[in-house]
Amino acid sequence: MGFSNVDAIMAVPDQPHQFWVFSNGNYRRIEIEVKSSHPYGCKAVGKVGTIKEDWPSLADFSSIDTVMKVPDSSNEYWVFSGNQFVRINVANGEPHKDTKTYGPGPLNEWPCITS
């Protein structure tokens, strides 16, 4: 099962060439094959999974709109869905356990975005 659209992408914190790709309520982990010229290659790392089943920190969301890395942390991200967000921590090492550190909170807690 492949994706026909991409909602958000999140870097795997301890794997510099790997990313989680989110589409609707699903996700897949991919690895970018770095080459010296364009285009880069990529391959799937694992099967397609669901956010609800595999991401406890994102259980409040049915889909992800975007992800932003927290600037002062290599393992924390803000994840946005609709008019809400959560802050999560993704541990290094397999299976990259995720925990919610804040939220869900309303988007209006981001006045730089909503004002």
Nearest to 83 by CA among 114, 59, 115: 114
Spell out where the chain has E strands.
8-11, 18-23, 26-33, 41-44, 49-50, 66-69, 76-81, 84-90, 98-106
Residue ranges of domains in the chain, CATH in brackets: 8-114 (2.110.10.10)
Segment 37-50, tens digit of pLDDT: 777 888 999 899 99
Segment 94-104, tens digit of pLDDT: 999 999 999 99
| Residue 51, token pair as written in the block | 């956010």
User: With contact defined as beta carbons under 8 Å apart, do 62 and 52 qualify?
Assistant: yes
Q: What average pLDDT does this structure show over 85-112?
A: 96
User: With contact defined as beta carbons under 8 Å apart, do 44 and 55 qualify?
Assistant: no
